[in-house]
Amino acid sequence: MNMQCEQFEQILEQRDEGALPKPALAHLETCEACRALSADFGAIHDMALELGHDEIAPPERVWISLRNQLEAERLILEPQAAPRSASRASSGWWSVLQHPAVAGAFLGLVLAAASTVGYLSNFAQTSVHSQLAFQQESSPVPAADSVFKEEVLTVGSDSIPGLQRQDTAVTASIRRNMQIVDNFIAICEKSVREQPDNQMAREYLYGAYQQKAELLATAMNRSMPGGLQ
């Protein structure tokens, strides 16, 4: 029986460092989508290996929340114990996401997706809060945007993960702009609370969320050994 894409994805996700089994290789021969997926995973894995292991790991609760959300959205298929530290996470694809730079990029992508989904799904809603409440009632895990709001977007200007540059001007710039974006988020949230059907205010709020995610990714990226890489 030929392997299906879902089975292939499961094998790919669970693979450590070894070669793919023959059925998976055979599936790769015939499935362009899985070839692309495999290539993407390989590129991310290689990039993560190059990043070293001396970054500051984000709090474990971030990974637990993200993992729960990714499982709920079937982006990863089988539960795995949340890694306790970057040094212990040497196997499995989940370890890739423990590296701040990769995680930052990933967070940005997922946040963008969450924003889009949130934007579209909110279109007919009259309240952000009622929509989030509905999602939380119908799902055992919080919605993606609430995860990011609680775990990532609340990263303050004093605790930017991985930001350990010695270039004080750059550090100051990032912190200053983080405060600007935080202020915008607070102002937009206030507007959305006051006028739940104000589509413009909601668009600005999501825009501010995206800016924060991008700023965090930039901060982490600029903190990699060697600075600009």
Partner 1 sequence: MAGFILAASPAHADRIEKHFPVQSKPKIMVRNSSGRIQVKAWTKNEVLVAWTNATGKSVVQTEAAGNRVEVSTQADVNGITADDSKTDFEITVPVESELSVRTDSGNVTVDSVHGDMTFDTVGANLQLSDVDGYMVVKTIDGSLLCTRCSGKLEANSISGNVQMIAPTLDSVRVQTSSGNILFDGSFLSRGIYIMKNFSGTIEVHFSSSDSFDVNANSLKGDVINQATFKPDTHGTPHPASKWGHGFIGTMNEGHAKVELSSFSGTIKILKRD
Stretch that binds partner 1, among 11-19, 22-30, 62-70, 221-229 (CB under 8 A): 221-229
Residue with tokens 């901060």: 219
The nearest distance, CB 184 to partner 1, in angstroms, is 5
Tell the smallest beta-carbon distance from residue 120 to partner 1 (Å).
19
Give the amino acid at 165.
Answer: R
Per-residue b/e over 46-65, b at no fewer than 16 CB within 10 Å?
eebeebeeebebbeeebbeb
- By the 8 A CB rule, do 216 and 104 touch? yes
- Does residue 174 interact with partner 1 by CB under 8 A? yes
User: What's the chain's Rg over C-alpha atoms?
Assistant: 19
Question: Least separation, in Å, of the C-beta of 224 and partner 1?
Answer: 12
Residue from 132, 181, 213, 224 touching partner 1 (CB under 8 A): that is 181
Give dist(CA 32, CA 149) in Å, integer.
36
Binding mask 127-166 for partner 1 (x = CB under 8 A): ---------------------------------------x
- Whole-angstrom CA distances from 202 to 55, 66, 68, 214, 227 are 35, 24, 26, 18, 35
Q: Which of 133, 173, 186, 193 binds partner 1 (CB under 8 A)?
A: 173
Give me the residues that bind partner 1 (CB under 8 A), please: 166-170, 173-174, 176-177, 180-181, 184, 187-188, 191, 195, 198-201, 204, 207-208, 211, 215, 218, 222, 226-228
